[in-house]
Amino acid sequence: MAISVYLAITKSIKHIMTSIKSLGLALVLFFAGTSLLAQQSDSAYVRENYTKIERSIPMRDGKKLFTAIYIPKDKSKKYPFMINRTPYTSAPYGEANYKTSLGPTSLFLREGFIFVYQDVRGRWMSEGDYVDVRPHIDHKKGKSAIDESSDTYDTIDWLVKNIPNNNGKAGLYGISYPGFYSTAALPGAHKALKAVSPQAPVTDWFRGDDFHHNGAFMLADAFNFYSSFGVPRPKPITPDKGPKPFEYPIVDNYRFYLSIGALRNVNTKYFGDSIQFWNEMMKHPNLDAFWQAKDITPHLKDIKPAVMVVGGFFDAEDAFGTFHTYKSIEKQNPNAINKLVVGPWFHGGWVRSTGSSFGDIKFGQPTSTYYQEKIEFPFFMHYLKDGANPNLAEATVFLTGSNEWKSFDTWPPKDTETKTLYFQDKGGLAFNKPTTADSFNEYESDPNNPVPYQDGVQARRTREYMIDDQRFAARRPDVKVFQTEVLTEDITLAGPLTADLLVSTSGTDADYVVKLIDVYPEITEETSAENKEVIMGGYQMLIRGEVMRGKFRNSFQTPEPFVPGKVTEVKYTLPDVGHTFKKGHRIMVQVQNSWFPIVDRNPQVFTDIYQAADADFRKATHRIYHDQQNASSIIVTVLKP
Q: In the chain, what are the domains?
A: 2-204+294-339 (3.40.50.1820), 416-639 (2.60.120.260)
CA quadruple 43, 47, 48, 51: dihedral, nearest 10? 140
Ranges assigned E (strand) in 372-488: 395-399, 404-408, 416-423, 429-430, 440-445, 479-483
Q: How far apart are CA 308 and CA 199, in angstroms?
A: 8
Cα–Cα distance for residue pair 319/349, rounded to 1 Å: 12
Mean model confidence pLDDT for the chain: 93
Residue 60 has what pLDDT? 98
- Secondary structure class of 47 (helix, strand, coil): helix
pLDDT band at 232; cut points 50, 70, 90: confident
Residue 167 main-chain phi, psi, to 5 deg: -95, 10
Q: What is the mean pLDDT of residues 585-596?
A: 98
- What share of the chain has pLDDT > 90, as a percent? 89
Per DSSP (E only), the strands in 437-490 are 440-445, 479-483
Stretch 206-220: mean pLDDT: 97
Q: What was the pLDDT predicted at 446?
A: 98
- Phi, psi (5° rounding) for residue 404? -150, 145
Decide: 420 and 635 in contact? Cβ < 8 Å: yes
pLDDT score, position 18? 40
DSSP 210-273: TTEETTEE-HHHHHHHHHHHTS---SS--GGGSPPPP--SSS-HHHHHHHH-STTHHIIIIITT
What confidence tens digit (pLDDT) does each residue in 351-404 have?
999 999 999 999 999 999 999 999 999 999 999 999 999 999 999 999 999 999
| 3-class secondary-structure state, position 150 | helix
Give which of 4, 21, 38 is closest to 354, Cα–Cα: 38
Check: CB of residue 260 under 8 Å from CB of residue 267: no
Nearest residue to 606 (alpha-carbon basis) of 570, 555, 637, 564: 564
399 burial class (0-12, 13-18, 19+ CB within 10 angstroms)? buried
Q: Nearest-CA neighbor of 631 among 497, 520, 501?
A: 501
pLDDT band at 28 (very low <50, low <70, confident <90, very high): very low
For the stretch 127-146, pLDDT in tens is: 999 999 999 999 999 999 99
Please name the amino acid found at residue 393.
Answer: A
Q: Mean of the pLDDT values across residues 615-638?
A: 98
Would the pLDDT of 633 be above 90?
Answer: yes
